[in-house]
Amino acid sequence: KPLVFSGVQPTGNLHLGNYLGAIKRWVDLQDSHDCIYCVVDMHALTVMPDPADLMVSTREVTAAFLAAGIDPKKHIVFNQSRVRQHAELAWVFNCIARMGWLNRMTQFKDKAGKDRENASAGLFVYPSLMAADILVYRATHVPVGEDQKQHLELTRDVAQKFNNDYSDRIASLGVGVEMAVGDETVSGFFPLAEPLIGGPATRIMSLRDGTKKMSKSDPSDLSRINLVDDADTIAKKIRKAKTDPEALPSDVAGLANRPEADNLVGIFAALSGTDRETVIRDFGGRQFSDFKPALADLAVARLSPITDEMRRISADEAYVDAVLKDGGERAGVLAEETMRHVRDIIGFLQD
């Protein structure tokens, strides 16, 4: 079975974009793949959250995974910091990745903002840790939103450079595996993990600005639908969502250059498990005053069972912590298996 790895940061305000772009799709992969789903608390540390908030958010994200339908017995759910091998491999990858590669990362530029001198070094090397998260399990598939595409490309570059730089050691230790790269078959230690980015919700935009992605860190709460929002709040946020004055177009081509309309249609499609074509077939030519209430009803119908289940699970802190502990132990075994090879390959002495 192919191996899936993905994560969400416990940075608060889990939102519809996280659900539709990531978590919902993770649920669907469980039948066909072995999956490792991680609450990436070490990534959250790059922006120095308050410790009490970090603990609350870590449990909340875990509860969201479970409420959405991820099975922690069949698969693995844990918080990143429990498995020290992530940090260990991230250091190796800091020595593989080039400054020039990291300098090109748009997420760093966005998050550091104007005061780059004051951004943490951790924020800069975030992509090395993300590469380590994936490759410490030699995962082959990574379901993420569109915003993570560039980091996934860097992960492949890191894997490829490691495989090349150490090709002789990998061959002499006999730890390489054959893999297809384009038309060629090459041998390497780390797989070139493939991003799984698809469907109508790869990039949900802010409800206040159709050119910005919906984000946990947006200061405006009206910009996003939080997974903990109640029905009235969801309806209000959709009612207030920015739109243009035109009716919905009669075909999907008419959504071009209408980012807010495109976003709401995409959200409808993802929530209803269809595509933009189907939504436009049903709502083309209708006003937003018609479409928004239908979208609000759909959002509430889809999200409220998850919200309720999240609340129920969150109330049982001992259960959530036990899931993370068990997942961490199982992940740790897999990660250590990889790291023993990595230490041999790079020439670290070990017993």
- Which residues are at the interface with ligand ATP (CB under 6 A)? 8-9, 11, 17-18, 21-22, 144-145, 147-148, 201-204, 213-217
217 marked among binding-site residues: yes
Query: Would you say 145 or 188 has its CB closer to ligand ATP?
Result: 145
Tokens of 220: 């405006």
Dmax (CA) for the chain in angstroms is 70
Pairing outcome for strands 3-8 and 34-39: parallel
Active site residue 1: no
Tell me how far, at minimum, the Cβ of 346 lies from ligand ATP, in Å: 30
**Looking at 212, 213, 240, 292, which residue is catalytic?**
213
Confirm or deny that 9 is annotated as ligand binding: yes
Catalytic residue among 73, 216, 237, 242: 216
Minimal distance in Å, beta carbon 259 to ligand ATP? 13
* Spatial separation of the C-alpha atoms in residues 24 and 36, rounded to whole Å: 14
Residue nearest to ligand ATP (CB): 21
Residue 190 is given by DSSP the state S
17 annotated as belonging to a binding site for a ligand: yes
- Minimum gap (Å) between residue 258 Cβ and ligand ATP: 18
293 is in an annotated binding site: no
- Alpha helices, DSSP H, located in the chain: 16-18, 24-29, 41-44, 51-68, 85-96, 99-103, 106-112, 121-124, 126-135, 149-165, 167-173, 231-240, 259-272, 276-283, 288-315, 317-346
Residue number, 11 or 81, with CB nearest to ligand ATP: 11
Closest residue by Cα to residue 280 from 255, 246, 251, 258: 251
- The residue with tokens 């450079």 is 161
Provide DSSP, 203-258.
SPBPSS-TTSB--TT-S-GGGS-BTT--HHHHHHHHHHS---SSPPPSSGGGGTT-
> What whole-number distance in Å separates Cα of residue 168 and Cα of residue 57?
44
The answer to whether residues 255 and 261 touch, using CB atoms and an 8 Å cutoff, is: yes
Residue with Cβ nearer ligand ATP (43 or 138): 43
Report the residue number, 41 or 339, with the smaller CB distance to ligand ATP.
Answer: 41
214 is in an annotated binding site: yes
Considering the complex, state which of residue 22 and residue 70 has its C-beta at the smaller distance from ligand ATP: 22
d(CA 224, CA 180): 40
Cβ 338 to ligand ATP shortest distance, Å:
22
Which DSSP symbol is given to 197?
A: -
Angstrom distances, CA of residue 69 to CA of 36, 42, 190, 297, 347: 14, 24, 30, 22, 42
220 is annotated as contributing to ligand binding: no
Query: Catalytic pick from 109, 111, 212, 292?
Result: 111
Query: What's the CA gap between 61 and 56, in Å, rounded?
Result: 9
Active site annotation includes 111: yes
Tell me whether residue 18 or residue 163 sits nearer to ligand ATP (CB atom). 18
> How far apart are the C-alpha atoms of 275 and 278, rounded to whole Å?
6
Let me know if 161 is a catalytic residue: no
Cα 165 to Cα 162: distance, rounded to the nearest angstrom: 5
Least distance to ligand ATP, CB of residue 127, Å: 12
Closest approach of ligand ATP to the CB of residue 107, in Å: 8
183 annotated ligand-binding residue: no
Active-site annotation, residues: 111, 213, 216
Binding-site residues from annotation = 9-11, 17-18, 133, 145-147, 204, 213-217
Binding-site residues from annotation for L-tryptophan = 133
